[in-house]
Chain A
Amino acid sequence: MSTTLVDSPAPPRQEIRHRRRPPYLPWLLLSATMILLGVLTGYPVLRLVVMSFQEYERAQLMGQPAAWVGLDNYAEVLTDVEGFWVVLGRSFLLMVFLVVTTLVLGMLVALLMMRVGKALRLLVSVGLLLAWAMPALSATTVWGWVFDTQYGVVNNLLTRITGDDWFGHSWLLNPLSFFLILSFIVVWGAVPFVAFTLYAGLTQIPEEVMEAAQLDGASAFQRFRLIQVPYVRSIITVLVVLSMIWDLKLFTQVFVLQDIGGDRELTNTIGVYIYQTGMAQGHYGLASAVGVIFVAVMLAIAYPYVRRTLREEEL
């Protein structure tokens, strides 16, 4: 495990410098991280696992000892078809929809930015930046207000345009409609990051390659599929994995939107479900079990990416 080979004859000067690097240095550099993460993340994770095997309610927060119930919490969660499984399935579907939409729109916007002139590109950039910079809380509040049942501007405009009376139309009551609005909000906030990153990646493709392909008769779509995509493939992969993780963990927008309107039970995603079960209802043991299961699921999803990254490390 030492840094380099110990013995070799008369090494050149720079290699001597390498070897003089103190072997404990990496751990020293990592010590602050280890302590911070160990205490504020490691310990809560440990507690999470422990609580998932206990009956932990409000009384326990006030000092009552917690009883061990083995796998009871897990059994209760995993057999709760109407609750847990529905929420999990819903979160998944939502995640897939969000990731696909965000990536597709992000790519389209990136391509658009490449296609238009400087002024228009600046315009689009400013718009995207505004959307990206808006805090999730503000954004959800404003979108909720835009779609407000009684006084929202959308209902107002729709009434003017279609002539039907849209006032009083609730966008949040119907769960499907709720998720449509939620998707608006999330995608609206997520596309800028994807668009900018893809744009930066695409601009790095040397022009000669694109021109050569064009001269060879490749259509725009073919150029896209055969040159641009492969070039930014690693970026896309990173974006997809990040988006999957972030969208499954979605919390603030759902929580705040539920505050504004809508049926909590029919619109819970897993993050909010854990919060409701734990903080709101006081069933911390159950919530912890759900949390553990959720992490296991996420790990399963991200496993291929983790493995790939590790393999890269070995190179």
Chain B
Amino acid sequence: MNRNRLVGAAASAITLTLALSACGNAGGAASSPEETGPGEVRVWLVGSDTPQDARDYLKETFEEENPGSTLTIEEQAWDGLVDKYTTALSGSDAPDVVEIGNTQAAAFTSSGYFREITAEEFETLGGDDLLPGFVEAGDWEGKHYALPYYSGSRVVFYSDQVLGDTPVPTTLDEYVETAVDLRTKDLSGVYWPGQDWYNALPFIWENGGFVAEQAEDGTWEAGFSSEGGLKGLEQIQTIMTEGNNAPADTNETDLQVPFCEGQVAFLSAPSWIQWSINAPEEPETPDGVPGCASTYGSDLEAFALPGKDGGAAQVFAGGSNIAVAQKSARPDLAMSALEILLSDEYQTILAENGLFPAKTSLFEGVDQSTSIGAAAAEAAANAKLTPASPKWADVESQMILQTAFSKIASGEDVKAVAEKLDADIEEILNS
């Protein structure tokens, strides 16, 4: 009897100790004393936007400036990024520098996930030269946490081989009409996958609608079912159902594929897709994705989406911010990496590759001699961001917008979809 109790008690004691040791360490601030000396820095870059040249430059320069230390770039995927950051950045093995979508930054800045960038550090890294909208996206309660990394807007690509004699539209309404006119069974006037909501925003904004606005008392109101919003949605539905052959349930990846098959007249896509389109048909590496450099890529042109009254429309400001993790084991090395990422040299490499750098003074580095570059610059000058709420990342990860636009692409009643969309958005933003 006694021995039983003893064994039972011993087992329980061991269990308790192990459990407590675990919870003792976890969650506690990683307040290890500031180390010096060589170390390891992990940088998380998302997707394939950052060009290889930039990555090489980052690694080489860092290792030069910090002899003995290593920098590793670990590539992440946009899909499921918020989930991953939520755990990874709160754990003891957190990465040091992370890229985060500008629309997702608020979710993390408001929860203490990123290390604060002091006012002095901010000045050294660029200060007023940094893209204002993006700086705002990365601030919280007046402090800086995530800084702009790069930006890039969507432009409308086309190839004369497909477009033929049709003139390039100069207003938004013309754009819609042309798309409908051009569409045949094998050709999309505008290629618009149902889940692509980024392309929908200009229509909402140009028609006087809004995505979501915060009232004086702090509650958010969504604007898809506002008058302007509905007009925009109706134009969108016209294109999606009458001017487009893309499936209603796919998203905006792989856009170069139908373009390279000659099935698309107008392709509204981020400016860097030009590299995918212009990739050779026979990729050099087993990994490479085939493009169509010799066919439709050869005379690739672009224009900025036209506004309601001509000129460039207000488009969604794509792009990312960059931050140092609060739980980084080596904040000193992380800051060193951050300095390189925001340095003029690095940002110029980004500019040369068609991305818009974080510093406005370097905008001219972007080659504007081609129609694509010029269009990208025009669009970037008119770019707008999504609502600056920490809960916006939840709206995105819940796929609410994607689902709503899939329904619109399937022909459902615009008003009903818009009202539900607004209700869903408001529920999350106000929760």
Chain A in direct contact with chain B (Cβ < 8 angstroms):
yes
Q: Which residues of A contact B (CB under 8 A)?
A: 1-2, 22-24, 27-28, 30-31, 34-35, 38-39, 42-43, 57-59, 61-64, 149-150, 168, 170, 172-173, 259, 261-266, 276, 279-283
22 contacts between A and B (CB under 8 A): A1-B4, A23-B1, A24-B6, A31-B11, A34-B12, A35-B11, A38-B11, A43-B22, A43-B23, A58-B108, A59-B110, A61-B87, A62-B113, A63-B27, A63-B29, A150-B247, A150-B250, A168-B245, A173-B249, A265-B398, A265-B403, A282-B394
Which of the listed residues A62, A63, A172 has the most CB atoms from chain B within 10 Å of its own CB? A62
Candidates A2, A22, A63, A281; contact of B397 at CB < 8 Å: A281
Interface assignment of B142: CB less than 8 Å from any CB of chain A: no
* Number of interchain pairs (Cβ within 8 Å): 118
Q: Are the CB atoms of A27 and B111 closer together than 8 Å?
A: no
Q: Are the CB atoms of A280 and B19 closer together than 8 Å?
A: no
Pick out which of these stretches binds chain A: B34-42, B78-86, B281-289, B332-340. Answer: B78-86
Residues of A within 8 A of B29 (CB): 63
Contact with A along B390-431 (1 / 0, CB 8 A): 000010011110010010001000000000000010001001
Residues of B within 8 A of A282 (CB): 86, 107, 111, 394
Task: Rank and list the top 5 A-B pairs by shortest CB-CB distance, nearest first.
Answer: A38-B15, A24-B3, A58-B111, A59-B111, A27-B7
Q: Are the CB atoms of A24 and B87 closer together than 8 Å?
A: no
Residues of B within 8 A of A27 (CB): 4, 7-8, 11
Kindly state the separation between the CA atoms of A40 and B82 in the bound complex, as whole angstroms. Answer: 25
Q: Are the CB atoms of B18 and A23 closer together than 8 Å?
A: no
Q: Are the CB atoms of B15 and A39 closer together than 8 Å?
A: yes
Q: Are the CB atoms of B7 and A24 closer together than 8 Å?
A: yes
Please give the number of chain B residues whose Cβ is less than 8 angstroms from any Cβ of chain A in the complex. Answer: 49
**A23-B4, A63-B28, A64-B112 known; A279-B250 Cβ under 8 A:** no
Q: Are the CB atoms of A43 and B249 closer together than 8 Å?
A: no
- Residue on A with the closest CB to B19? A43
Kindly state the separation between the CA atoms of A149 and B406 in the bound complex, as whole angstroms. Answer: 14
Residues of A within 8 A of B10 (CB): 31
Kindly state the separation between the CA atoms of A262 and B251 in the bound complex, as whole angstroms. Answer: 11
**A59-B110, A150-B247 known; A2-B1 Cβ under 8 A:** yes
- The minimal Cβ–Cβ distance linking A250 to chain B, given in whole angstroms, is 19
Q: A57-B111, A63-B29, A265-B399 are in contact. List 10 more A-B contacts (CB 8 A).
A: A1-B4, A23-B1, A24-B4, A42-B15, A43-B23, A58-B107, A59-B111, A62-B113, A64-B112, A280-B397
**A24-B3, A31-B11, A280-B83 known; A264-B403 Cβ under 8 A:** yes
Residues of B within 8 A of A172 (CB): 249
Q: Are the CB atoms of B398 and A259 closer together than 8 Å?
A: no
Residues of B within 8 A of A168 (CB): 245, 247
Residues of B within 8 A of A281 (CB): 394, 397-398, 428
Residues of B within 8 A of A279 (CB): 83, 86-87
Q: Are the CB atoms of A261 and B249 closer together than 8 Å?
A: yes
Interface assignment of B182: CB less than 8 Å from any CB of chain A: no
Residues of B within 8 A of A57 (CB): 111
Candidates A31, A59, A149, A283; contact of B112 at CB < 8 Å: A59
**A264-B403, A280-B398 known; A39-B18 Cβ under 8 A:** yes
Kindly state the separation between the CA atoms of A98 and B70 in the bound complex, as whole angstroms. Answer: 52
Interface assignment of B348: CB less than 8 Å from any CB of chain A: no
Which of the listed residues A2, A23, A35, A150 has the most CB atoms from chain B within 10 Å of its own CB? A35
Q: Are the CB atoms of A259 and B249 closer together than 8 Å?
A: no
Q: Are the CB atoms of A263 and B406 closer together than 8 Å?
A: yes
